[in-house]
Chain A
């Protein structure tokens, strides 16, 4: 069974750094794109970017390029979303998703709530 398990909720202050995680299991983690989606409570979905763990090829939405860093550690099957300097506007729910069977996020994590 494919599972994506995200790290727990975070409460941080503006200016702090943060790294949240998404651990994949039950599928070939290294050879399937995995990425992140932001959702401000009550608002729509914003696609942030994806990474191909095997070669770390990373694609970002223009809206998020330079604002966050997406990475993956294929030795432990985990993807990350990182901020170096958090802002109030980064407060949101963050979902990870993986493209296992098709070229869209067909498996999702449970979400990580970030409050700044």
Chain B
């Protein structure tokens, strides 16, 4: 299964709403889809698992939904700290994981 993310780069201003897309090449279980945030020089951080469940400590301005082949991460009221690269990830029944190529969210 191949994950495609769009757009590759998203340019927005603080306070705006970001909508990031992750599309799978075939239908996947929602349970197997996660979103990560990565800032320069840092390890990735898990934001969302099971397509829509926020990890403890992640602000509620981050929300996600989706099913089948189409998944979306939404960040409402962008704050300066939110500008980063976002990756979706999927795992198979045999526990082999794949990342999408990422969306760069820039000011």
- B partners with A: yes
Residues of A that sit less than 8 Å from B by CB: 33, 37, 44-47, 50, 59-62, 95, 97, 101-106, 108-111
Q: Is the interface of A mostly helix, strand, loop or mixed?
A: loop
Determine the chain B residues whose CB is within 8 A of the CB of A62 once the complex forms: 96
Known contacts A44-B99, A59-B94, A61-B97; A111/B43 CB under 8 A: yes
Whether A59 and B96, one on each chain, are in contact in the complex, defined by CB atoms closer than 8 angstroms, is yes
Contact with A along B50-67 (1 / 0, CB 8 A): 100101100000000000
Contact pattern, B 31-74, Cβ under 8 Å of A = 1, otherwise 0 = 10010101000011110011001011000000000000000000
Please tell me if B87 contacts chain A, counting CB pairs below 8 Å.
Answer: yes
How far apart sit A46 and B100, CA to CA, in the bound complex (Å)?
9
CB pair A102–B55 under 8 Å, yes or no, is yes
A45 CA to B43 CA, complexed, in Å: 10
Q: Which residues of B contact A (CB under 8 A)?
A: 31, 34, 36, 38, 43-46, 49-50, 53, 55-56, 87, 89, 91, 94-102
Measured between beta carbons, the chain B residues less than 8 angstroms from A109 are 43
Residues from chain A with a CB closer than 8 A to the CB of B55 are 101-102, 106
Which of A33, A46, A50, A111 contacts B99 (CB under 8 A)?
A46
Q: Are A45 and B102 interface neighbours, CB within 8 A?
A: yes
Contact of A104 among B38, B43, B46, B101 (CB under 8 A): B46
| CB < 8 Å neighbour of A45 from B38, B46, B94, B95 | B38
Which A residues are CB-close (under 8 A) to B99? 37, 44-47
Q: How far is the CB of A62 from chain B (nearest CB, A)?
A: 8
CB of A110 within 8 A of CB of B46, answer no
